[in-house]
Amino acid sequence: MSLRDADPQEAGLSRPLTGPEKVGVLLLALGKERASSLLKNFNPEELNMIVRSTEVMPTISAADLEDIVEEFEGQLGLGTPFVGRPEDVKRLVTDVITENKSADVGTGFEVHQDVWTRLAALPDDTLDAHLRNQSPQVAAFYLDRLGSERASSILRNFSPVERNNMLGRILGLGQVSPQIVEALEASLHEELFDHDHSSTDKHLAMAGILNNMDKDAVTEALEFLASTKPKDAEAIRKMLFKFEDLIRLSAKAMTVLMDGIPVERTVIALQGADSSLQNQVLGALSPRARRMAEAELQSPANVAPRDIADARRTIVDTVLRLSSEGTIEIPDAG
């Protein structure tokens, strides 16, 4: 049944039902599980039409349902009590949409596929600061969406009173409408991600340039930037990273980094590196990859200095990219 073209027909109601209202009734009659699979095939405009129709939709009886679609008469018209309330239709549609958070259903119910993953990947201090700027109820909702492990990590930074308050609020969270979830996701994108996207790209590019300059030149450049654009200068300073700074990364961050670097590239980059740095990098490799890398390093090939520099630059660029995405955290050099 088309949402646009279904002709209203009398069904023993105070007024004829519209197409979206009929579809909502049928979905409700089918049950949540079967309706869920059908709703995945609806486009965003159709989903909005169904939900909007519940604002003025009358209550539907079993007899009304039989008149809407004759083909369901044998299955649904055997005397089983049926009352289709508009609030039930709305709850059905919104529940299904909420459960399918990973699917982007567009305007009106657009779910940003990566916002919660990106939020969970932010450093503890960034997350903590953002949560403390929200209302307690919104902060509780964010913590609930982060998952138990990540929420537990953040809550350790709260005082006992604050922590107990948050736990109580999380426990009391009820159904949150998709419209509110959408608004919160949009707010997260604007405040933490989209708003600073272009700036982050510029900071990343500038950090890449400064990373290849000598220390005095970097100091001079940062001093100049600090006098004109202090916030930008601070953001760039935090992104400054040399190959030798790999020693500062946590074991977890190192593992994430090495997962994206070919072993052959890593071996070239480690040529001539300090033994402690070599050991830290090798420790992040899988046992098989580590054995291969160690064998290569014990019998090093004649690698040109330029190739070593290129391999190291690739690793540094990857560190900066992962850091800008919030996937890993670069510890402050102090």
Q: Supply the CATH number for residue 31's domain.
A: 1.10.220
Q: How many domains are there within the chain?
A: 3
Q: Which residues of the chain have pLDDT under 50?
A: 1-11, 71-72, 74-83, 97, 100-113, 195-197
- Distance (Å) of CA 83 to CA 64, 156, 187: 9, 48, 38
CA dihedral 216, 218, 224, 227 (to 10 degrees): -110
Q: Is residue 154 part of a domain?
A: yes
Q: Is residue 193 part of a domain?
A: no
Whether residue 70 sits in one domain with residue 170: no
The domain of 157 spans: 115-174
Q: Is residue 6 part of a domain?
A: no
pLDDT on residue 198: 54
Residues in contact with 125: Cβ distance below 8 Å, sequence separation at least 6, in sequence order: none
User: CA-CA distance, 307 to 270, in Å (whole number)?
Assistant: 11
pLDDT on residue 121: 81
Whether residue 134 sits in one domain with residue 213: no
Give, in degrees to the nearest 5, the angle at Cα 34 between 65 and 53. 50
pLDDT on residue 106: 40
pLDDT on residue 333: 59
User: CA-CA distance, 232 to 234, in Å (whole number)?
Assistant: 5
Whether residue 313 sits in one domain with residue 229: yes
